[in-house]
Amino acid sequence: MKTIKIEDALKLENVVFIDVRTESEHEEDNILDAFSMPLFKDNEHNEVGTIYKMQGKHEAIKIGFDYVGYKLKDIYLNVLEAAKNHDNVVVYCARGGMRSGSVVNLVSSLGINVYQLEGGYKAYRNYVLDYLRNIMNTKEFIVVHGLTGVGKTDLLKMLEENNIDNIDLEGIAKNSGSTFGFITFDQKPPSQKKFETKIFEELFYSNSDYIFIESESKRVGHVCVPNEIYDAIIRDGHHILLECSTENRVKRLCRDYIHNQKIKKKTYKL
C-alpha cells in the first residue's frame, strides 16, 4: 500500500482527493473540493466507534462489514473512474486509519494505483493552520478600501480575470459585508474550518508574493478571519483607497442588491 504525506500530496499534478469520512465530516471541511465517498453514514460511524471502544477492534470490524459490504462495487467503480480522469488519486479519512486504509488496500489489490494520505484530514488541518501562521512572512497584501458600492468586489473580479492573485473574503464567507449581509448569497455559509481552508488554498496556489484583498473587519458573516491574516491586512498591508462618484455607487448598489435579487427570485419561481 502506497502512502503519501500531505505536503507531497498537495504538489501532485492532476490530483483528486477522495474523502471516505462521513457526509457531515466532509461538509464541515475537506481537501481541495475532494470527492465525497463515505464508507459509513453518520449513525453507522458512531455505532462502529462505540463498539470499538466497548468491545474491541474485531467486533467493530464485523459490524463495519455489514455497513460496507453492499457498497464495495460502487467504491471500486468510483475510484476506477477517478483514476481514469486523474494522474494521481489520494484517499483519506479522519486520521489515516482503517477507513482509508481498507479502501486503498481493496482497490490496490484490484489493480488501481492510489495513495493513502498519512495522518488523514487531521494532518491536513494541522498543515493548514501551520501554513497560515507563517505564510505572511513571505507574502504581502495589497488592501483595497472604500465605501460600500465603490466597486471593491468588481475590482477583485477584474483582477481574477487577468490572473492576478487576490482573495475575496466576502465571496468565500458567502457574505455581502456589514451593510447587506447575506442578501446576495443563496448558499449556506461555510464552517470556520472551511473558510480557513479556502484562504489557505488561495495563498498556497498563488503565483505572486503580492496578493490583493478587500479590507474587512475581523468577523465576516458567520466566520472570523484568522488572526495572522487579519494582522497582515491591518498592520502590514499596502493600502489603496478606491473612490467613485455617488451616482456610480447608487447604480452599482441597485445592480447588486435590487436588480440581481429580482432575477434570482424570478428564477426560483420557474
**Residue 101 in contact with residue 95, Cβ under 8 Å?**
no
**What interhelical angle do 57-68 and 42-55 show, nearest 10?**
160
Q: Which amino acid is at 117?
A: L
Active site annotation includes 93: yes
State how beta strands 219-220 and 223-224 pair.
Answer: antiparallel
Q: Which residue is catalytic, options 93, 224, 244, 254?
A: 93
**Residue 17 in contact with residue 90, Cβ under 8 Å?**
yes
105: which residues sit within 8 A by CB, 6+ positions away?
1
State how beta strands 140-145 and 210-214 pair.
Answer: parallel
Active site residues: 93
